[in-house]
Amino acid sequence: MFYNMLAPLASDWTLFNVFRYITFRSLAALITALVVSILIGPRFIAWLHHVKCGQFIHEDVKNHAPKAGTPTMGGLLIMTSLGFSLLLWADLTNRYIWQVSLVFISFGLVGFCDDFLKLRRHKNRGISGGAKMSGQILVALAAMCLLYANPDYSSRLTVPFFKDINPDIGLLYLPFGAFVMVAASNAVNLTDGLDGLAIGPSIVALIVFSIFLYVTGNARFSTYLLVPYIPGVGEVTVFCSALVGAGLGFLWFNAYPAQVFMGDVGSLSIGGTLGYLALLCKQELVLAVVGGLFVVETLSVILQVGYFRWTGGKRIFRMAPLHHHFELKGVPESKIIIRFWITSILLGLVALSVLKLR
Ligand code: 57M
């Protein structure tokens, strides 16, 4: 709103020029979302308690018992502060801002239905796995159609560290892109099992993608760093920064011991959006590096379930996803969380090196 209202005044008052800069608005968007979520957080959590959004806790991990009744659906707090910040600082005429916001809201809606039913039904039963997956696929395919129809987006893949390898996968780019989004959405959801475990690495990935998006939307930087130039997409940096702010504000309350969980409304929306951001800056494969922690958590589940079926009941890990394995080995929750964060920061730095090493 500020961009659309104040930037045109720059011709009369040069001071208003700052509203044109993506960097200035990104910083402002981050601070706004962070402050808003910290300010409204306590009331919001009290409201979640009031409407009985307490989390059902499984009995198989004993040290989670004290978490019973912690309100879930904190993703709505992230959504509110993100929306407020975007309305103030984003260029509301930019199509990518609307696309990425729609992706965020639509994945969030699928998660909301699941959370809502889990709370209202007996024994934590949400929507069926099939219905949830269909919802995610539908949203992802719709988003991919928008990208595919956009002449600025090619169906070529960017391969990290190899500037000359750009395979064109043609129409397969549609299902491939949808897979990236759905996989990212579920991977973040699987990781969301300890306080701050999902939001920390998500923030790291968002910071990395905000840098990629800024470069991709800038003609000079993209030419210098040999990444595809896509006009207009740099504005999504403002979205990423606002989400970083909203995520940090959520972490304020989700930090161990958590006062609120994000719920599927938070994990599915953040994960699906991370997938879309990777597609928007044409760094689809870099997502597997920056989101390496999510990949490892998901692989631990695939391996565990596969091995369990193959051997008729044996396990590789004490329990999957991987964070439960460490918990059952007696590693304190806060230690697991911090170590996972450190790993994700390292992976974020490796992902950023893609910009220069090729
Ligand atoms: C949801 N949800 C958390 C919270 C959060 C196939 C199988 C691996 C699926 C997997 C699964 O259901 N994963 C997706 C994970 C739950 O958190 C809620 O869910 C939202 C995210 N969707 O926002 O609302 C619990 O996680 C804890 N938590 C925190 N802090 C947070 O900030 O402590 C969450 C957020 C919360 C809270 O305790 O109640 C979850 O873990 O359920 N299933 C599992 O992960 C289960 N693993 C399993 O069954 N493993 C088997 C399989 C692979 C055959 C095995 O290894 O043998 C475990 N889930 C739990 N206990 N809770 C089993 C043990």
User: What mean pLDDT is predicted for residues 60-65?
Assistant: 81
| Ligand 1 close to Cβ of residue 186 (< 6 A) | no
Q: What's the domain count of the chain?
A: 1
φ, ψ of residue 156 in degrees (nearest 5): -85, 145
Ligand 1 pocket, residue 248 CB under 6 Å: no
Asked if residue 264 has its Cβ within 6 Å of ligand 1, the reply is yes
CA 193–ligand 1 middle distance (angstroms): 5
Tens-digit pLDDT profile for residues 265-302: 999 999 999 999 999 999 999 999 999 999 999 999 99
Q: Using CA positions, which residue lies closest to atom 62 of ligand 1?
A: 58
Asked whether residue 122 carries a pLDDT value surpassing 80, the answer given is no
Determine the structural domain holding residue 235 and report its residue range: 2-355
- Does the pTM surpass 0.85? The reply is yes
CA–CA dist 314, 128 (Å, integer): 27
Contact 304, 320 (CB under 8 A): yes
Residue whose structure tokens are 């239905």? 113
First-to-last alpha carbon distance for the chain, in angstroms, is 39
Burial class (CB in 10 A: 0-12, 13-18, 19+), 172: exposed
Q: What is the mean pLDDT of the chain?
A: 94
- Mutate which of 309, 324, 334 for ligand 1? The one with the most ligand atoms within 8 Å of its CB, which is 324
Give Cβ neighbours of residue 281 (< 8 Å, ≥ 6 apart): 209, 212, 213, 215, 216, 227, 230, 233, 236
Digit-coded pLDDT (tens) for 151-188: 999 999 988 888 788 899 999 999 999 999 999 999 99
* CA 57 / ligand 1 centre spacing (Å): 9
pLDDT value at residue 123: 64
- Residue 254 and residue 195 in contact, taking contact as beta carbons nearer than 8 Å: yes
Q: Is the model's pLDDT at 53 over the cut of 80?
A: no
The number of the ligand 1 atom at minimal distance from the alpha carbon of 57 is 39
Q: Is the CB of 323 under 6 A from ligand 1?
A: no
Mean pLDDT on 119-145: 90
Cα 96 from Cα 73, distance rounded (Å): 26
